[in-house]
Chain A
Amino acid sequence: MFNLELISELNGWSFAGTGMLIVFGSLAGLAFIISCLHRMLELYDRCLEIIKIKKAQFFKFLVEGLKNKLRISSGLREYAVTLRAITALTGEPFHLSDLIRNAEKRGLNSPPPGFIVEELLKANFIIGDDSRKYRWNQRLCEIVL
């Protein structure tokens, strides 16, 4: 009753085998992608959260900068620009004593550079590192100066 040769004649084995493989492969692929879906969504959520935090930090920083801008006088701002130009020549990080000495050498005596540097430290324009050296707070300087 069954004639297996008929299957071979009509290429039936290849059709059946390939068909099975395609169906199985498609569903296996879909299963794999679905299994990754919730992890990808979690990752996406985490990225969004990080972006949100960074955004909040940036805005906080921006607001602080603007507050500083309002707080510091135009004279101090000009002085800070000059001091920044001096450190651009001498390089960063720098010792505060070197900065004050270089400022005095260039005739910046009134008001005394020590006082100005202290003000800039308070306003976070100059920030220190572990090795007791200092550098300019670039982002704040870009916004305010």
Chain B
Amino acid sequence: MEELFLQFFSNTGFALFTPGHLIMIGAGVLFIWLGIAKHYEPLLLVPIGFGIIMGNIPVFNGFGLGIYEEGSVLGYLYMGVTKGIYPSLIFMGIGALTDFSTILARPVLMLLGAAAQAGIFITFAGALSLGFGLEEAASIGIIGGADGPTAIFLTSKLAPRLIGPIAIAAYSYMALVPVIQPPIMKLLTSKNERLIKMEEPREVSKREKMIFPVAGFIICCFTAPASLPLLGMLFLGNLLREAVVTERLANAARNSIIDTVTILLGITVGASTQADVFLTSEAIGIFILGACSFAIATACGVIFAKIMNIFLKSKINPLIGAAGVSAVPDSARVVQVMGQKEDPSNFLLMHAMAPNIAGVIGSAIGAGVLWSFMN
């Protein structure tokens, strides 16, 4: 009987436990705390945090419990990540949630979304200089797109072993948008620039909104076909929203589907951060580069807005350049808060949504371009 107890104990978490597990469980608890107490992206951080704890419960290898073990339930759920299914479905939900009228009203603001994607490629070069391989560097660079699903999608195609750290880094920085972006925005703009009030956008017709998803999809995917899985679903979601007659489908895409997939994505990405895979110097490097990528992307957007102001008759508030790093709609909200701090009567949110959406499209194109380069 004693032997049986000892055998049972040897298979429990208490016996298999290592300091690495403790650190990761602590990280999971921190994520949950940030989500619940600090309201930093709770819809993402709570499932990811719980997933981290799930993935770091010490289990006996061979029981088919761990996410990397063949036949495990978590392993099957994780296939949605490794096969790029969840990111595409999330993009459909984003499309069904997003109103593209700000882009249609003032298309020139799309350039800010394009400029912010420079962060991806600068970080890609930076990662190469640190000794990462091409595929890994591309996966790290995409963190600068500040788009979790895109980062996961590209990493699942190019460097699947890095999905855990890259996804965690991408989502962490997305959650930390209100902390990371404001100092950079403030540093790069003068008070007068932050006070600029922008012209009201023109009214956009329903017909334009319906044509855009089809035309936008064709143009983007003809240019960068590798971005088809992400952009196809994004524009499909938006078409369902705007077509009116498909309201039921749009409703499903923006509610039940995106919620279900977010839970599954969060749990599996969290669970993929097992201590032995995650606690490496490589992961720390990814986190540092991810932060740089995010900061560079923000700076590029703001600087480009200032450059555009040299040529534009109707000036734009350079703060909205920071929203070019996708992270919908948090970075746009940060712009709004920053603008209102300077002048409470200045409403920048709707203007910032244009580069914000362009950032989503741009990062998906960027991912497609990097993927095609690596093939």
List residues of A whose CB falls within 8 A of some B CB. Answer: 1-4, 6-7, 10, 12-13, 15-20, 22-35, 37-38, 41
Contact = CB atoms under 8 A, between A and B. Distances in A.
Contacts of B111: 24, 27-28, 31
B115 A37 contact: no
B366 interface: yes
Nearest to A25: B223
Contacts of B358: 27, 31
Contacts of B219: 26, 29-30, 33
Q: Which 9 residue pairs are nearest across A and B when measured between Cβ atoms?
A: A27-B114, A31-B107, A16-B121, A34-B107, A31-B110, A12-B128, A26-B223, A24-B114, A35-B107
Interface in B215-238: 215-216, 219-220, 223-224
B7 interface: no
B224 A2 contact: no
B117 interface: yes
B104 A34 contact: yes
Given A4-B129, A10-B133, A16-B125, 19 more contacts: A3-B130, A6-B128, A12-B137, A15-B370, A15-B373, A16-B122, A17-B121, A20-B121, A23-B114, A23-B117, A23-B366, A23-B369, A27-B361, A29-B219, A30-B220, A31-B108, A34-B104, A38-B204, A41-B207
Contacts of B103: 34
A26 B365 contact: yes
B118 interface: yes
Interface of B: 103-104, 107-108, 110-111, 113-115, 117-118, 120-122, 124-126, 128-131, 133-134, 137, 204-205, 207-208, 211-212, 215-216, 219-220, 223-224, 358, 361-362, 365-366, 369-370, 373
Nearest to B304: A24
Contacts of A35: 107-108
A59 to B, nearest CB: 27
13 contacts: A1-B130, A2-B129, A6-B129, A7-B129, A15-B370, A23-B365, A26-B224, A27-B114, A28-B111, A30-B219, A31-B111, A37-B104, A38-B104
B110 A27 contact: yes
Nearest to B114: A27
A38 B207 CA distance: 9
Given A30-B361, A37-B211, A38-B205, A22 B130 contact: no
B308 to A, nearest CB: 12
Grouping DSSP codes into helix (H, G, I), strand (E, B) and loop, the A interface class, with mixed when no group exceeds half, is helix
B264 to A, nearest CB: 29
Nearest to B223: A26
B223 A22 contact: yes
Contacts of A18: 369, 373
Contact of A19 (B110, B124, B207): B124
A12 B113 CA distance: 23
Contacts of B220: 26, 30
Contact of A13 (B110, B125, B137): B125
Residue with the greatest number of chain A CB neighbours at <10 A, chosen from B110, B111, B125, B130: B125
A25 B205 CA distance: 26
A67 B238 CA distance: 53
Contacts of B104: 34, 37-38
Given A7-B125, A30-B220, A22 B365 contact: yes
Contacts of B114: 23-24, 26-28
B129 A41 contact: no
B358 to A, nearest CB: 6
A28 B365 CA distance: 12
A76 to B, nearest CB: 52
Contacts of A34: 103-104, 107, 110, 212, 215-216
Contacts of A25: 223
